[in-house]
A = this chain, B = another copy of it.
Amino acid sequence: MKLNEIASIIGSIVVSENVEIFSMNTLKNAQAGEISFLSDTKYEKELSETKASAVILPASKAALLPDGVVALVSEEPYMAVAILSKYFAKPIRSSEKAPQIGEGSVVYPTAHIENGATVGKNCTIMSGVYVGAEAVIGNNVTLYPNVCVYRDCIIGDSVAIHAGTVIGSDGFGYAHTKTGEHVKLYQNGNVVIEDDVEIGANCTIDCAVFGSTVIKRGAKIDNLVQIGHNCVVGEYSILVSQVGLAGSTTLGRNVVLGGQSATAGHLSIAPFTTMAARSGVTKSVTRGGVYSGFPLMEHKLWLKLQAKLAKIVQS
C-alpha cells in the first residue's frame, strides 16, 4: 500500500515520498518497507533508531525521527494504527499450494489443512483439527482432536497439543473512541512453539499483534491456560491449569506458575521463579524465589500475613 493511501485512511497529511509499505511493526523490529507508530512515550527513545520506512506519531515527535523516515502525523496514533491494521490483515486463505504432508504422518479425514500449510514427518493430526494457511508443523507432532492452529503459526518437533486447544487466535486489542466504541487492532503476528513442548486441553494461546508469541523449548502447559498476545514463556517453564498471562509478559526459564495464577501485561518474571497457586502478579519479578498472594509477596511473608489475619479474626 502506498503511503498516500495510508495517509488518507488515517486522516494524516501526506508528507513527502510515496514509498510502498508492506506491513506494520513495532519501532524496534520494523524494517524498510514497514510502517510503525509511537503511541506511548515509553518507546520514544526507539524513534531515533527505527528502521521503519514511515512512522505514525504526534506532530510534536516528528523531529525525533532519523533522516529518511517519513512521519505520518496523527494526534491519536493508536487509533490510526487500529484503523490501518485492517488493511494489512491477512485473509484466512491465501495460497493455492496444496498442503505438504511429511512421510509417515497420519491425517484423519475430518482434519482440515489449508493450502500453503506444511506438516512434518511422523505426525498424527487427529479428527477435527484445523491447520491454517502457511502454518508449519514440525516432526513427531501430535495434534489431538479439534485442536486449531491459526494461519502462520509455527510448531516445532516432538510437540503434543491436547484436544480443543487453540493456537493463534486473535490477541485482545482495541483502540477506543471517545464515545466508547472499540476499533479492532488486527493481530497480524503468529505463535511460535518450540520443540518438546506439551500443551493441555482447551488452552488458548493468542497470536502476536506484530511478531510472535513464543513458547520456548520444553515448556509444559496444563489445561485451560490462557496466554495473551506477544507473551514469551521461557524454556522448561510449567504453567498449571487455569493460569492466565496478560499480553506481552515474558517468563524466564523454569518459571512455575501454580493453578489459577495470573500476571498483568508487559511484565517480566525472573528465571527459576515459583508462584504458588492463585498468585496475582502485577509487577515484574526480578529475583527468582517462591512467591504467592495478590498482590504478590514472598511466600513466607504470605504465610505470616495469613497467621496475623487468623489472629485478627479471633480477636
Q: Which residues of A contact B (CB under 8 A)?
A: 92, 108-110, 112, 124, 126-128, 130, 142, 144-146, 148, 150, 160, 162-164, 166, 169-170, 172, 174, 180-182, 184, 198, 200-204, 206, 218, 220, 222-224, 226, 228, 236, 238, 240-242, 244, 246, 253-254, 259-260, 262, 264, 272, 277-278, 280, 294-295, 297, 301, 304-306, 308-309, 312-313, 315
Q: Which residue of chain B has the shortest Cβ distance to A308 in the bound complex?
A: B312
Partner of A278 from B172, B236, B262 at Cβ < 8 Å: B262
**Does A172 lie within 8 Å of B127, measured CB to CB?**
no
A181-B236, A182-B238, A262-B277 given as contacts; is B220 within 8 A of A166 (CB)? no
**Beyond A148-B164, A169-B201, A180-B253, 14 additional pairs, beta carbon < 8 A:** A108-B112, A127-B130, A128-B146, A130-B145, A163-B169, A166-B202, A172-B240, A204-B223, A204-B224, A204-B241, A242-B242, A246-B259, A277-B280, A308-B315
**Does B166 lie within 8 Å of A164, measured CB to CB?**
yes
5 contacts between A and B (CB under 8 A): A92-B142, A163-B169, A164-B166, A202-B204, A241-B246
**Does B163 lie within 8 Å of A166, measured CB to CB?**
yes
Partner of A301 from B128, B146, B223, B313 at Cβ < 8 Å: B313
Q: Which residues of B contact A254 (CB under 8 A)?
A: 180
Q: Which residues of B contact A182 (CB under 8 A)?
A: 218, 220, 236, 238
**Number of chain copies forming the complex:** 3
**Does B172 lie within 8 Å of A220, measured CB to CB?**
yes
Q: Which residues of B contact A241 (CB under 8 A)?
A: 172, 204, 226, 228, 244, 246
- Ranked nearest first, the 4 interchain pairs of A and B with the lowest CB-CB distance are A112-B127, A130-B145, A204-B223, A148-B163
